[in-house]
Structures are given as structure tokens and as C-alpha cells.
Amino acid sequence: MATASHPAAPAAKKPKVDAGAGAGDMETDDKENTAKGANTYAEGDVHDLMKLYYARLFPARSMMKWLSYGNDGKHPQADAGFTQRREFCFTLDGDIFCRYQSFKDEKELRAALKDKTPSKIDLGPVFNVDPAKRMAYGAGGAGGDRVFAPVEREFVMDIDMTDYDDVRSCCSSANICNKCWPLMTIAVKIIDRALREDFGFKHLLWVYSGRRGIHVWVCDKRARSMSNEARAAVAEYFSVYKGTDASGTVKRVSLTTPLHPSLKRAYDDVLAPYWTDTILPNQGLLEDEKFFEPILAMIPDANIRDEFASQWKSGKKFATSACPDESVARWNKLVQKVDAANNPGKSGKQSSFEMKRCLFDVVFAHAYPRLDVEVSKHMNHLLKAPFCVHPKTGRVCVPMDPAKAESFDPMTVPTVAQMLNELDAAGGAAGAEDEYELTSMKGAVDTFNATFWDALDKECKEELAVKARDVAGAPTVEW
């Protein structure tokens, strides 16, 4: 039987597979969404549709209001040059990178997008000067001793499904399906709560990458002003999975006994239930030698390792009517055996810390979020902007509601062709303002506002009001 520390799956519960999961739902490079109804615009012609997308659907106003942080109005305390010091990077046809683009407002951004039609938009930091004028600063420049340098940047995190290929039996590389997407759901649930509760951040923008991953932009003023050292420290806080040992087989994790409170919370509330209800049944990890050998390698007791390796390789079945999934049934037996070995009642022999911790190690090594730490560590690292279109899938990088992470389905994310067809079907007039409201983009912008921007916009306005009161109350100098 399972213990409180390592719960088994509920006996009568059937394995959980997200609705529609299966081989037929796998997303590959040559299989895209198809718009419903009359299809004037075909899927697959992503590049050819981008000019129309930028001209009629891209929510440039929402983008620039966010990136201005209240400095886009005529408030006397607003920094009029703030928005134009932000770096945009356009990727043009042929993988040509145009860095250090800058725009003072929505109108300039929209004109540049229609003119250059980038296949991707990346956002960089806010610099101390307009990045387009950077050559005037630094050694030998007219700026004298002033050095071109980043001064502000959202703290960002990037989680990519390809980093879980050793956990996925359903897909590999850039392919995803509803069986492996719960790994991203786990990442959202754990990271969102930790950033809010452990670090006190409030303004988090979660975005689907358009293909196989997710990004989070932490936009609190305190986060934007963090040094590279502070960014690295926050990223390291989440760096539990450390890859494999020299053999390439045994997974390494950084855990303590007892677990750190944040990790215990993640395990109890997210990892343990998802491991037995979703990950094991979806991936069948204990039914394939390729996956169960690395798991058994994490068990310190050689007798237990050998016993289960022999049984599992022989094909011995553990599933029952009460627990019909074979991987879950095998896990339950392993939990029982390890727990018995950790109980000194019969032999009086005390178990090692490694033995007591090994089942936690297995779960964390396979299901805890795996970050691309290098993306988070440096203020001047570029990251794909929300609302741009992935050039291979045609899907829009839409905002996500972290409170509803389990219901987010990447297979239903709108594509650029789908939205242009929706616009035609709704009778949208070219050049009309906010045409996107006639399409699926409206839902994406609504999520952006409701889960992120509305609260941050209010805070930005309050900060400007406080500055104005401070200026008004400041003593004046009499001559």
C-alpha cells in the first residue's frame, strides 16, 4: 500500500488522458489546424499571410501599452522616451536578424511590421538610450563616457518540450500531443505559484510559444530592475533537475531531506497527483525498458533494483481490475517495496537519506519544470514576443490563464489562416480599427487584459500619481 509521502493512484480511478489524446492528435510540422467554414486562406502559407496579419489582426496597441508601462500618455511624470528605448528584433525571410529596432508608439510599430513583414518578433531590454542610436555612444562616440547598456528588462522564463524527450514516449523533438502537454501544465502550476508566493511577484504574463513550449514574463517593477546576478539566483531556485550523470543514464536532481517547503508544496499539490493520474498512464514509463531502466537506476538498493528489473523485463503483469494501468500498478509495487525497506522495524537497520529520498528523486527528475536557465540569467537576452506567429505551425503566441492551465489546449490555438478566414466570414472591412475583435484574437487579447494587463495598468497609473504628488509636495527654492 502507498504511504502519505508517496501516494499511489486511487484504486478505482482510470488512467487520465486529456480529451482527444492519441496518436491522431499529435502535432507535427506538416499537420496544422484547418479553419472552419469557407477557407479563403490556406494553412501552410504562413509567410504569405503575415502582411495581412500585421495590417489587420496584430494587436499593436495592446503590445505598446504594455511595453510603455504607463509612459505612453501625456502625464507630466511620464518618461516620454521610455518606449523608444526598448529593443525589438525582427527575423526576416532567410533568417536575417534585424536587431536594435525601436518605435515610439503603436503607429510606428505597425508601419514597420507591414513594411518588413518579419517572420518572428523578439523583445530585448530597455536601454539607457534609443538602441537605434547606439553607435553614438561608447568608445570614440559622441556620447563620450556614456556606454550603451541595458537598464531594465522583464524577468523571463522559457520551458521547452524538447527538454523532456527522455520522459515522452508519445512524441519527440518539436512534436507535441495531448498526452505530453500536461508536462507544460505542471510547469505553469508550479512556477506561477512559486513566483507569486515565494518571491512576491504579482504581474505575470504566461504565453504559449506557438509550437512546443511556454514563456512567462514577470513584469513587476522590482523584477524588471533585477541585476543579472539576481536573475540567475531566481532561475537557480527552480533548477532542480540537473541532467544525467557521466553514464548518461542516472538522472540527477538537487533535493534535500526533508524537502524545501516550496518543493514539498509542489510535490503534494501538483507532482504527486499528476505523476500517478497523468504522466505514468499517458507515457507508460514503467512498461518500456528504455524508460524504466533509468528510473530503477535511481533506487539505491541493488536488491530492489534487480528484483524489479527482472520482473518488468520478463513482462510480468501487475495491473488489476482495481488498478488497470500497468505503469501505475508497477509504481505502486515499487513504492511498497521502497517504503518497506525504509521501515527499520524488522531489521533495525536505519535507511540512508538517499533511500528515503529516492522516490521523490524519481518524480522530480521526470516531472518538475525544466528551464532554459540561460534565457533567464541575462537582462539583454531576446525572447519571442506575445502575439507573433510561429512560422512553421502558423499558430499565434497567445497569452494563457495560469489559473486555468489544465484546460489550455495547444491544438486549438488559432492560426493566422483561421483568423483571416474568420475575418472574411464576419465581413471585416480592411483598415477598420480593432478588426481582431471579429476573430479568435479577441479571446487572446481578453485573456491578456484580464489575467495580466488590467492590474498592471492600474499599478502603473498609481505610480505616476504618486510621483506627481511627490513633485507637488517638494519644497521650492527661493532666491
Written as tens digits, the pLDDT of the chain (479 aa) is 444 456 555 443 433 333 333 444 555 444 344 434 457 898 878 989 999 999 999 999 999 999 999 998 778 889 999 999 999 999 998 899 999 999 999 999 999 999 999 999 999 999 999 999 988 876 444 555 678 999 999 999 999 999 999 999 999 999 999 999 999 999 999 999 999 999 999 999 999 999 999 999 999 999 999 999 999 999 999 999 999 887 877 889 999 989 999 999 999 999 999 999 999 999 999 999 999 999 999 999 999 999 999 999 999 999 999 999 999 999 999 999 999 999 866 555 656 788 989 999 999 999 999 999 999 999 999 999 999 999 999 999 999 999 999 999 999 999 999 999 999 999 876 666 789 999 999 999 999 999 999 999 999 999 999 988 888 876 655 54
Helix axes 106-116, 46-56, angle to 10 degrees: 160
Select which of 43, 154, 158, 277 is catalytic: 158
Q: Could you give the dihedral angle defined by the CA atoms of residues 123, 129, 130 and 133, in that order, rounded to the nearest 10 degrees?
A: -120
Q: List Cα–Cα distances, 23 to 40, 163, 185, 187, in angstroms.
A: 29, 20, 20, 23
Q: Is 212 helix (H, G, I), strand (E, B) or coil?
A: coil
Distance CA 329, CA 212 (A): 30
Can you give the pLDDT at residue 348?
52
For residues 243 and 307, what is the distance between their CA atoms, to the nearest angstrom?
26
Residue 87 falls in the annotated catalytic set: yes
Judge whether 209 and 395 are in contact, CB under 8 Å.
no
Q: Say if residues 152 and 118 touch (Cβ distance below 8 Å).
A: no
> SS3 of 132, please?
helix
Residue 434 annotated as catalytic? no
Helices 302-314, 326-341: inter-axial angle, 10-degree rounding: 160
Sign (positive/negative) of CA torsion 456, 459, 465, 467? negative
* Catalytic-labelled residue, pool 87, 130, 325, 372: 87
Rg (CA), the chain: 26
Measure the CA–CA gap between 49 and 44, rounded to whole angstroms.
Answer: 9
- For strand 213-218 and strand 204-208, is the pairing parallel, antiparallel, or unpaired? antiparallel
Say how far apart CA 393 and CA 415 lie, in whole Å. 8
Q: What's the grid cell of residue 368?
A: 518538475
Question: What's the pLDDT score for residue 26?
Answer: 52
**CA dist., res. 445 & res. 447, Å (int):** 5
Are the beta carbons of 65 and 99 closer than 8 angstroms? Answer: no
pLDDT of residue 169: 97
Distance CA 58, CA 448 (A): 13
Q: State the catalytic residue, choosing from 27, 43, 122, 160.
A: 160
| Cα–Cα distance, 354 to 361 (Å, whole number) | 9
Strand extents, DSSP E, 219-315: 241-244, 251-253
The whole-angstrom separation of Cα 248 and Cα 263 is 25
DSSP strand E in 144-293: where? 150-152, 155-160, 204-208, 213-218, 241-244, 251-253
What's the pLDDT score for residue 23? 40
